[in-house]
Amino acid sequence: MRASTILVSVAAPAIAALVVAAPRLLETYSSARPAIERSAPGRGPDAAPPAGGVSAGTASGGIYGFHRDALARQREIEKLLTSLPETARVEQHARDLTREPHVAGTPENDRVARYIFERFKEAGLETEMKTYAVYLGYVKTARLEQVEPERKRLANPESGVPEDKDASDPRAALNWNAYSPSCDLTREVVYVNYARPEDFDALERRGVPVKDRLVLARYYHGYRGGKAQEAQKRGAAGIIFYSDPMEDGYFRGDVYPDGPWGPDSHIQRGAAVYDYIVPGDPLTPGWPSLPGAKRIRPQDSEILPRIPSIPISWRDALVVLRNLAGAPVPQGWQGGLPLTYHIGPGPSRLHLTIEASFETRTITDVIGVLRGADEPDRTIVLGNHHDAWVYGAVDPISGTATMLELARVAGELSRRGFPPRRTLVFGNWDAEEWTLTGSTEWGEEHRDELARDGVACLNVDSSSSGSVFQASATPTMRRLISETLRDVPDPRLGADLYSVTLAAADQDSFKSTYNAPAVEKQAHVVTYDILGSGSDYTVFFNHVGMPSLDAGFDGPYGVYHSVLDDYYWMSRFGDPGFLYHTAMVRLWGILAYRMADADILPFEESPYPADVKGYLADVEKSARGDAPLPDLTELRAALAEWEKAATDLDARVAASLGGARPTASALAKANAALIQSERDLLTPGGIPKRPWFRHLIYAPLPTYAAETLPGLREAVEDRDAARARSQAAALTAAIRARAATIRRAAEALGS
């Protein structure tokens, strides 16, 4: 899983012309993708003042975080990071890792883990296969049949073409959602649009209850687990998901096998679990699944669904929609199929049978460590996962193939006398597609040392489904990303990736089909999204407090979690020639080595308090008249302190990098403070209702979108005056703690 970005503004005509000559740049991705499902209106910073923009790059050829005396060595490293990656190696990894379906907890996935382990060893990394016994939900059989008004088998397997031999593998024929309970039921159907709370509310106003009925919901505008939970709250007997061609099929462009969009038979599998409450093993919520660990009963888990679910194709959904009566759908509910949609209920009645299997199985994280030469305890985590719903050529194997080549290049750099100053940890996680399980269990096991020494998490879930760069990031990391983009060429267009990304944002065709943008668009800068959840940075950012980013190259991707997300699709549509896979090796590598080798950690502070001011303004604006908005005087004063401290720190960093080199002691003190500063924004007890999420500025919604100031915002929305006051006080204390910490960093650099 990975995040998406909002891309903005204008570019030089020459660059724009180059981009126009390139393949169409279109954004698509599944509802399970966190930042694609951006902040919902009224829940995030939609009305915030400038947030997310990064202005022009480094003056005088410098690199942010590096003293002028260190630039020559760093440029030499980056020249090697640019020249050493080999596209043929990346493509071979992609082919080898997608030869068979490899769902978590299966022998096929064990073989994938072993392949990664061997490649890490060949690269010269200290390598470990770390196992956890975790609770996984499978489906043995899943059948769906329309029994009235006409009998018709549904939930049919996907269809490929003869030249795409992987698509016909019988191991990939089952349509299922992980953690769905078993069932044998026959019910009439109600169409519920995207199954959002507002959709169910609209049905109630129309006198169409869903209680004890099956609901048919289209994907997008929300994560499937959030849709399932909402259906469960409303009393539905079960939920059926389908991908409508309006979002990822012929309404967007040519479909497989003639183009990248989803054909009539494609199916989006996935977990329908509520891991935005707490991720990881459902039976060890908040602690690692180690031998002898306490395990709760499945019925006591907050995140396991209580109603069954199944995904189907739009070809099968059309059968149901043809047989729904009732009123025509409200405005905005009509999809792309060739008929007028009706709400129901019935007369379509469906018979759904699912035989589920809940088992404790072993999953395997593959960890490769390249030990830092100067500060070995300080760690930068590079994250990706290897388990897939079927083949996963995009999600996640594009990222895995990229990681393996980057590991080889990093090992070669060390052999040539350029080890990183700080330690690089290559974390290739298992069971991400269940509940972010492998990364969460590892992060919980290593929570104390990560809290002390973890510098940042650089996550690349899917490195390529197209050619348009996107990223989500902690505000302090935007400058790092932008400067790196300026130093990596686009593999097809030749211009630097920053210019190409900026130009792509101008194209009318590159429009999100999802929720409102997470940050306000700005002219002349690339705008990055804010972090929600749904990928492996979650434990490091929301629980441990490590600054994080999630990045990849996006594009028209209509076969998400489908059998058709295979080598055939990738080699023809996603990234022919595997050029953007290889570009991500360079980009990810430079990001990692700038974080690992910087004299002063490259966190620019000033954007953060500016963003938080915008989030606070949005809470005030969205509060309804009778909402118990607490007195925010102290919180605003704390924000003003943080803004001033941020400005002072950024000025001191600039002076230190361009002047006399600070002493080793001063740099150590400043960097220790910079590492601590994100932890200052955590609350030990977590935010109300979901204490695993400890970050006071960001937490995920059930859509996986980012919610800003979650504790305060939710208290105000719930009209809980006492809780709102408590959350405002907690925010004030956290912000003052961060301001004090970055003042210490500035003072260290001034000594």
Positions annotated as catalytic residues are: 432
Measure the CA angle with vertex 578, ends 573 and 584; round to 5°.
Answer: 115
Distance, in Å, from the CA atom of 345 to the CA atom of 145, rounded to the nearest integer, reads 17
**DSSP secondary structure letters along 589-625:** HHHHHHHHH-SS-----THHHHHHHHHHHHHHHHS-T
Closest CA relative to residue 391, chosen from 107, 108, 27: 108
State the DSSP string of 387-432: --SS--TTTTHHHHHHHHHHHHHHHHHHHTT---SEEEEEEEES-H
SS3 string, 651-702, reads HHHHHHHHCCCCCHHHHHHHHHHHHHHHHCCECCCCECCECCCCECCEEECC
Angle between helices 579-597 and 397-415 (to 10 degrees): 50
Could you check whether the bond before residue 489 is cis, i.e. omega within 30 degrees of 0?
no
User: Cβ neighbours of residue 632 under 8 Å, at least 6 residues apart?
Assistant: 616, 620, 728
Number of neighbours of residue 700 by Cβ within 10 angstroms: 27
Asked if residue 555 lies in contact with residue 67, where contact means CB atoms within 8 angstroms, the answer is no
List, in order, residues 6 or more apart from 116 with CB less than 8 Å away.
366, 386, 400, 404, 428
SS3 readout for 140-173: EEEEEEEEECCCEEECCCCCCCCCCHHHHCHHHC
